[in-house]
Amino acid sequence: MKILVTGVAGFIGYHLAKRLLIEGNQVYGIDNLNDYYDVSLKQSRLEQLLPNGNFIFKCLDISDRNATGQLFVEHVFDCVVNLAAQAGVRYSLENPHTYIDSNVVGFTNILEGCRHSQIQHLIFASSSSVYGANTKIPFSVSDRVDTPVSLYAATKKANELMAHAYSHLYQIPITGLRFFTVYGAWGRPDMAYYKFAKAIAEGKAIDVYNYGKMKRDFTYIDDVVEAIIRIIPHRYQTLNQPPYKIYNLGNNSPVELGEFITTLEKVMGKTALKNLLPMQPGDVVATYADVDDLIEDFDFKPTTSITQGLEKFVQWYQEYYGMDSTNKQKLTKNQLALLAG
């Protein structure tokens, strides 16, 4: 298959592209390489993909209507996996327009590209944050999600509504995935677990919100990729319904933040200094994924334990940051474009 992966230099995008290439697919990856977090990490991910002859990279922002439209004119894709988005809950409190540009305008451009290209399947990233102030546990895709507590969550809910409309109007097969706290090797430095590892390694204090009493359904990256791989070839059999469905993609086993930190300390062999702080605006007390639909439709459920996942992450972290900085090639956007042809 020829698959378009947006946000390919991001955490999930990189891992998905790598797996797709291993399985012999052609991957056309796009990313705007913004500086929301360390660009050199995004570049390092791309360096792992560029040597594969079935991988093509283009530096492109999906919020650019003309460039995105032209991409769909010039290429025929069997499937689109849209992972490009402005991430982060707290960042949305300070930079709201960035979320509208990327998550709403950009997603509209992807939907339009899929409509005019008769794409066989669009898969897009939603988020567990859409459950917002929901108090029913575990979170089910049948729950109402009308109470977002951050703009980020609101844009992801908007994506789901937009996707449903396009699926209904144009019969585009679309699958939305509500990711639950994805973590692992090559992860995002803005995520709490990454910040914790960095601080512990450097002997600095970590900020622990809600005094460590929050619970998260931490989901290891390999489990996320396996689920997407199974979903890509899926073809909907519907009667008088749009070919559209939402799935939770979580570990189905929430862990208290304090326990998560304790496990990370054991894996790293160091004790963390902790600043215990109250809940932050935009945060929720707990996330917990009901994955019954995922099990029923794809015979799959994430299985990586917190200990297993953190061991893999810490091993990568120590290897990556243990490298001599002179050996980490840091490419400019233009250099990456040249390498990608």
Longest dimension (CA), the chain: 59
Distance CA 254, CA 180 (A): 10
- 274-311 burial code (b ≥16 CB/10 A, e <16): beeeeeeebebebbbbbbeebeeebebbbebebeebbb
**Exposure of 105 by Cβ count < 10 A (0-12 exposed, 13-18 middle, 19+ buried)?**
middle
Answer yes or no: are the C-beta atoms of 202 and 241 closer than 8 Å. no
Q: Is the peptide bond before 138 cis (omega within 30 degrees of 0)?
A: yes
Answer yes or no: are the C-beta atoms of 142 and 301 closer than 8 Å. no
Two structure tokens written together for 79: 């499937």
Two structure tokens written together for 40: 């050199």
Task: Please give the sequence-ordered ranges of beta strands (E in DSSP) within 119-222, or none if there are none.
Answer: 121-127, 174-179, 182-183, 205-209, 215-216, 219-220
* Residue 152 annotated among the catalytic residues of the structure: yes
Angle at 309 between CA 42 and CA 30, to 5 degrees: 25
CB count within 10 Å of CB 203 equals 10
Closest CA to 21 of 57, 43, 54, 56: 54
Single out the catalytic residue among 152, 194, 244, 317. 152
Positions marked active-site: 152
